[in-house]
Structures are given as structure tokens and as C-alpha cells.
Structure 1
């Protein structure tokens, strides 16, 4: 637990995945009676180790204040996985955007068949091999395995809303692409933003088309959100990301993210020139040269579809279904 700005503390929790950590934030606050409390930003991954660490934290370094309020930036398991547990264990209220609460709650409550059936249909439409699809079907609803039952109720936060936390005004800025209604928290008084996964310093957030959002174009949404943040964040703003280290220099990082996706789009255009009409699965190696396990293949396929759909929106590619119902992309 490390102070990074007046009244704001940084906590890092483990994730049992390749990206092995998440940064969580505790903000000094008070309740309606003036008693000292914590506002927590993001819950951590839904597993027993994180629960143990929360208990140790609130019994130890953070024991001077009562956990009272949780704000979730978005619905992914490392951000929303213990929202319900924190509500039940400590009585915290949960605040998040409506789109994120709905997505996380719906996915957590689906049984294995309701989750894997449409997911498998999406994989088949995009040309994933039968063997890999069988492996992924056998895993069932992996989202539910990473998220405790969500809170039964939540308070909706909206883009442009001002939240009072610790006597300061925090502006809610919603962004799209990585998640449907991802909330960033901007505090102009402190010249900082808690940005969730939107502006990571060393890695790029996953921008994917998922089976339950087939037909969307999240890369276009993400790039538009970068434009908005660029106009909002001067270079000296302290960015508090969910992974890796806090940093300054948001405009430069935004330029790097734009350049990264431009390079990937050009790589896909080159891949389509070489292959001709092809499903997204055949183009994964164009973007991801390293060998991928089954779980990473889900993210890689989603990213590939997102970039291909951006090319379709730009008019430089087109998509059509072949006789087997596989979606094939080709340059126009």
C-alpha cells in the first residue's frame, strides 16, 4: 500500500494469468456522518487469494478507515471479480456504469451451455479449428469461474457526472473499445486520472469483438475515445493505470497507441493481399507471431476480428459469408 498522491493509495493484487497483477486504488473519504472511510476503485480478480489479501489489508495497513464504497471501471474479472464479495463482506456500495454492470452480471449468470453455445458459433463463423473449439467448449463459462456472484444492486455513474470523493470533485469520463462503457476518473484538482485499462503505459489494452458483441467495431470506438482523452489530458497529468506503473505523458502514449494499431492494420492489409479472401482465424499469425495457448487464442481472434472490421468500416476491406457460413475478409 503506497501513497501516490494526497489521499490516494496504490495497492497491487495478483492475477493467476500471464498478466499477473492489477493495480487497485484506495481513496481517503468519509461517510455522511464524517467518519473516515475508503472509496475503492476496482475489486481485483475473483479468487480466494485476493479475498485473503483484502482481509489482510483492511485488518492491517488500511485498518484506520472503513471500506464503504466501490467504483468499478469496467466488468472484466480483475476489475469486477470481487465486487459482490466486497459488498457482502464489508457492506460497500457498488458504483459503475450501467453497460458494465449489465455485461458483467449477465455473463456471470449464464450456465455453461448458454455461454459456450453462442461462443462456439462465433468461433466457427470466424474459421477457428474444430479441435481448438472443442478445447474451449470443454472449459465452460470461464468468466463465471473468475467472478464471484455480482452485487444485487448498483448505483449508476454516467459520463460527465461529478463524484465527490474525499472532498474533491472527480469527473467520470466514459470510453469505449476495451469495454462497452469503461469509466475513467479524472481529478483536475490533483491533475491525475485513474484510467483503468484505457491508457496502459507499456502494453496495449485488448480491443476485441466478443461472441456476445458480434457485429460491433470496437477498434473504431477505441480510437475515437483516444481523441477525446487527448483533448482532456495535458502531459503533466499523472496517469494511474490498472497494469504496470503510474506515469505522465498521456499525449505521447496516445500517439503510440494510435501508431500501434495503424501498424497492425497495415499488417492485416498485407496478409489479405497474400492470402486473398480469408477468415479471421487464418490471419491471427499475421498479428501474433508467438505460439498461443487456447485462452490467448480467444483474445487473439477477437483482436483480429476487431481490426478487420475496422478495415471494413474504412472501406478498404469487405466481409462475406461462404457456403459453409464462414466469414471471409478480402481487400476491396
Structure 2
């Protein structure tokens, strides 16, 4: 563990107790007794993910794992080399949700160290389902989904070339897991943690809250400086994930104290959960207001809503996530009877106010 002096900082109403200090690769920072902050690299616009190593006294627990990159595996080996012993093994790997930057190295760690995998049921099953798409051609349902959204053939070809890539970011998953459910209590790091389930960003996202420590391990459910993607996917085109996300944010407002230390998956640990949750809610409500104003001017397709939803034009590598999130806002309005749908001669769905 690195030794640091911390100078807390405040930005936009949130306090960052560790200031500008972050762990170097293969090094850790203790953020609460028995909880070490691990930081692994990502090859995305998000450059790092935060992971948590917990001293359970008779063993170790890891919460989230990083992608199965060579440098990530090497860093985990170095971190665990002096900690994991026959007398004090790696007991379990807890995964907040099934996105590859969180679950990617879980199978490798479980197989290498003989640890149990702990996840919610929908996250485990969905992960196994998406891994099974590896090597498959893009399905007709997916092609139709994006064509109806207004994608051109260049974007469709890009989707075809990338389909099935999820499994390449996930090491071989264990064939069994320990199920986490809403309200479960588990003992970790010498204290009790309650499982709080969120949805919208992923199907059954697990947060862990310790009332004794006043600490929340939030995964992607609360991030201090970015908003988690909330998307509709081709597998469930009529889904309403934005309602699930907003409800999850409201639920957390009622379950966790405002002054708890939040350990997020991205950016830095912070204090200020309530104002941040309210800001996330307000951001989506503002996007919905702008979207209604856009729709009042006449029918639009999904791509034509981007500036209203995100405040800017979007293309390139962000097109897929932007399409999913714009559809989440459109489906939210549609589920509440606010929209009428039509179709162009080219088969693109048009949305207008009912």
C-alpha cells in the first residue's frame, strides 16, 4: 500500500476526501478500515475503473475486477502475491454488474484462486447470454432495430463487424455463483453490508452499503462526474430503463445518508450522495423537457433527437450508446402515452407528440 497525505477537495458541491490522489497500478490506497482502493486501466474514453479489495480477516474479497487485459492480470498478481496465502485465501469475487470492465477478470480470478463468484441472478444470466453471442453473426432483429432508428448502411456494417464482441472482454465465467438479492446482508471487512439493487444501467445492479462504516460501494449506480448510460437494446426494444433508473435513484435517496462515503466505479471516492443523485434525476428530467420541445415541432427519428437529449451532436463510436439512451427517453414518453409513432417509406420510425 502506498503512503499518502490527502488534501480533500470540493467540486460542484461534492467533497473528495482523497483529493487528487489516486492509486498507481498494482498499488492500493486504504479508504476505510480493511478496504483498499485498486485502480485498473481501461482502453476506452473512461481510462480507469475503481475496484475494491477487502480484508475479511480469514480471507479476502474483491469487488469488481477490471477487464482481462495483460496489465490488469499482472497488477492483480502483484497485489495479491503478498496477501493471499493458504491460511488467508481469496474467498470471493463480488460483481456489481455484468459489464465487461466490472466482470471481465472475474472468471480468471475465481479459477486462479479458487474463489466463489457472487452476483445478482439477472447480471449473471445476462452475462452468460451475451458471452454466448461470441462468434455469431448479427441477428436480423438487431439490424432491424438500428435501421428503424435511422442508421445508414455504413453504421449497420460497423454494428455487424462488432457484434459478439462482449465475450472477448470477459474471461471464462464460473459455472456456478452465489446469488445476491435485494436486502441481503453479508459480512465483509468486519462489518455488515446490505445489498441495494438498482436497474436501468444494467438489469439488476448490486450496490453494497455499510451503515456502521457509512460507506456505499456504488458500482456505476452513482458516479460523481458522469452519468451512467441508460439504454434500450435490440433484445428488448420496448423496454423502459429510464423509469427503472429514476426509480433506483429515488430509492437510494431514501436508503443512504447524505454524508456517506461513496466508492464509485469511475472518478474518485466522494461525499455528497444526495445532491449527486438529485442532479442525475434532474438531468434526465431536463432532457425529457427538451425532447418534448423538439417533438412539438414535428416528427423526428431517433438520431434527430440527440441534440435535445445530450445537448450535442453525436456520431462515430458513441452512436450505439447514444441511440440506446435516446430510445430510453423516447420509450419513457411513449409508455406514458405522450407519443405517436409513424414510419417513413424507408422503414424508419418517426416520433411525434400524441
Normalised to the residue count of structure 2, the TM-score between the two structures is 0.87
Change in 2 beyond 3 A, CA 1:291/1:268? closer
**Correspondence for 1:269:** 292
Pick the aligned partner of 1:181 from 196, 204, 209. Answer: 204
SS of equivalent to 1:113: coil
* 2:39 equivalent to 1:17: no
SS of equivalent to 1:169: strand
Change in 2 beyond 3 A, CA 1:80/1:278? same
* 2:27 equivalent to 1:5: no
The structural deviation recorded for 1:21 is 0.7
Moved more, 177-186 or 277-286: 277-286
Moved more, 231-240 or 311-320: 311-320
CA distance in 1 between partners of 2:340 and 2:198 (Å): 27
Moved more, 276-285 or 165-174: 276-285
SS of equivalent to 2:212: helix
Normalised to the residue count of structure 1, the TM-score between the two structures is 0.92
Contact 1:116 1:141 in 2 (8 A): no
**Correspondence for 1:154:** 177
Larger fraction in helix = 1
1:30-69 residue pairs with structure 2 within 5 A?
Answer: 30=57, 36-60=58-82, 62-63=83-84, 65-69=88-92
SS of equivalent to 1:236: coil
CA distance in 1 between partners of 2:63 and 2:353 (Å): 43
Task: Name the Cα RMSD after superposition.
Answer: 1.8
The structural deviation recorded for 1:68 is 1.7
**Correspondence for 1:208:** 231
SS of equivalent to 1:267: helix
Contact 2:66 2:105 in 1 (8 A): yes
The structural deviation recorded for 1:44 is 0.8
Change in 2 beyond 3 A, CA 1:132/1:327? same
* 2:157 equivalent to 1:134: yes
CA deviation vs aligned residue, 1:236-279 (integer Å, no higher than 9, x gap): 111111000111111111111111111111221222233x2222
CA deviation vs aligned residue, 1:197-239 (integer Å, no higher than 9, x gap): 0110011010111112221100001111111110111111111
**Correspondence for 2:309:** 287
Pick the aligned partner of 1:71 from 83, 94, 109. Answer: 94
The alignment of Structure 1 onto Structure 2 pairs a total of residues equal to 325
Change in 2 beyond 3 A, CA 1:130/1:156? same
The structural deviation recorded for 1:37 is 1.4
The structural deviation recorded for 1:324 is 4.5
Contact 2:137 2:160 in 1 (8 A): no
Contact 2:218 2:265 in 1 (8 A): yes
Uncovered stretches (5+) of structure 2, i.e. residues with no partner? 1-27
**Correspondence for 2:3:** none
The structural deviation recorded for 1:298 is 0.6
Contact 1:107 1:115 in 2 (8 A): no
CA distance in 2 between partners of 1:254 and 1:86 (Å): 33
CA deviation vs aligned residue, 1:42-95 (integer Å, no higher than 9, x gap): 1111322211211121125x4575322011000001111111111111111100
CA distance in 2 between partners of 1:279 and 1:290 (Å): 16
1:230-309 residue pairs with structure 2 within 5 A?
Answer: 230-274=253-297, 276-288=298-310, 292=314, 294-309=316-331
